[in-house]
Amino acid sequence: MTERNFIPEKLSSIQEKGQCTWKSPSNIALVKYWGKSDPQLPKNPSISFTLDACHTITTLSFKQKEVKDDVFSFDIFFEGKKKEDFKPKITSFFERIEIYMPFLKAYYFEIHSENSFPHSSGIASSASGLSAIALCLMSMEKLMNPSMESSYFNQKASFLARLGSGSAARSIEGELVVWGTHAEVAGSSNLYGVTLEQAVHPVFKKYQDTILLVDKGEKVVSSTVGHQLMHKHPFAAQRFEQASQNLSAMLAVLKEGDLDRFIEIVESEALTLHAMMMTSMPYFILMKPNTMEIIQKIWDFRASSKLHVCFTLDAGANVHVLYPEKEKEAVLEFIENELVDFCQKKHYICDSAGNGAVCLKKEALSSTKLEK
């Protein structure tokens, strides 16, 4: 597949009015994406667990404009409130995807979104938010082209989501998704995410992710800026090579169920991500003292309990605690007894690996068939 495959051919009908609703999840990377080139192409392949509980629900209503013009017309509402400050991000998303969705300027859109997690939780909502919008737009395209196959639908949804936010490419399907070309993953691409087709050991089924909300504030440096700083980073080349090697190692681990090696790769990836931030110019630190306290507690508990609990980090201070489903009871007890005091207002979210986005509603309210 190349970019050109995502430019639609002739549509079979015109939808004058309609509405689609999608529930789309967040994801947590095991091998991290950090560094990209235009247009949103990753410098290395990454792999993530699709999450289940952390999601965005988005409804997109569309109506054909009565008078044609040359602008993107839409309003965006978040949790019921009109959000003018979200508009520039959506406008630049529409600009990037217009060539693949040439009908965008012919419509007025109303976008309503809500997250299952608190907005100010420090959990990045770009993966679930942008993938939800991409899926709604794909449902709209499918209404106008009903013969579209579901594999193409998902691939293009991931492709569009990536153009909104890189990690959103991994939020369409589950439970494990690879984004970025890698020799050992058949069909992998820098353009979109693919579900991992190889056999995965049952220990990774419904893998648990308890997200400890250490800091709910605005980040000092955004991911977008962080990615840019990889351009002149002294360790960039080694990092991109290491990520590819870690993905190779992770593929073997996922097949064999080697949890000790899983822990090594996942924690090393998390710390390397933050090491890249600390060695950028300008340098920055997103971890907080409580992030470090939690990491040390996890290491101590793992040594004494022999359980397979480990941590990973996103571009922020929150800690994702990962562990197999069968160790859930003991690890949750540990989290409640020893880790919640390091969370803001003792807040944490229990999540697990999930199966991807779900369409909640799709309806054409008025349409016209086009001549063949």
Does residue 46 touch ligand DP6 according to CB under 6 A?
yes
- By CB under 6 A, the residues from 339 to 358 that bind ligand DP6 are none
Judged by CB under 6 A, which of 26, 59, 126, 290 binds ligand DP6? 126
Contact between 155 and ligand DP6 by CB under 6 A: the answer reads no
Please work out the total of residues on this chain that contact ligand DP6, with binding judged by CB under 6 A.
17
Residue 186 burial (CB < 10 Å; 0-12/13-18/19+)? Answer: exposed
Residue 87 half-sphere exposure toward CB, CA atoms < 13 A: 13
Closest to ligand DP6 by CB, 115 or 126? 126
Distances (CA, A) of 95 to 64, 105, 168, 228, 351: 18, 10, 17, 20, 34
State yes or no: residue 223 binds ligand DP6 (CB under 6 A): yes
Q: Which range of residues in 135-143, 182-190, 221-229, 319-327 is near ligand DP6 by CB under 6 A?
A: 221-229
Do the beta carbons of residue 33 and residue 109 sit within 8 Å? no
Q: Six-digit token pair at 25?
A: 């999840």
Residue corresponding to tokens 């800690």? 319
- Considering only 141, 209, 267, 314, the residue that binds ligand DP6 (CB under 6 A) is 314
| Nearer to ligand DP6 (CB atom), residue 76 or residue 270 | 270
Residue of minimal CB distance from ligand DP6?
A: 166
Both ends of the chain: CA-CA distance in Å?
A: 26
**Residue 371 per-residue DSSP state:** P
Three-state DSSP at 42 gives strand
Tokens representing 253?
């681990």
CB of 225 to ligand DP6, least distance (A): 9
Beta carbon nearer to ligand DP6, 224 or 238: 224
| 165 in contact with ligand DP6 (CB under 6 A) | yes
The residue from 15, 21, 59, 167 that contacts ligand DP6 (CB under 6 A) is 167
Residue closer to ligand DP6, measured from CB, 19 or 318: 318
Q: Binding marks (x or -) toward ligand DP6, 225..264, rule CB under 6 A?
A: --x-------------------------------------
Within positions 59 to 118, which residues make up the interface with ligand DP6, using CB under 6 A? none
Interface with ligand DP6, residue 43, by CB under 6 A: no
Please state, in angstroms and rounded to a whole number, the distance separating the CA atoms of residues 206 and 51: 9
- Round to whole Å and give the CA distance between 271 and 281: 18
Question: For the chain, where are the alpha helices, taking DSSP H only?
Answer: 87-97, 126-144, 150-164, 223-228, 236-256, 259-278, 289-305, 328-334
Spatial contact of 232 and 281, defined as CB atoms under 8 Å apart: yes
Where do contacts with ligand DP6 occur on this chain (CB under 6 A)? 29, 32-34, 40, 46, 124, 126, 165-167, 223-224, 227, 273, 314-315
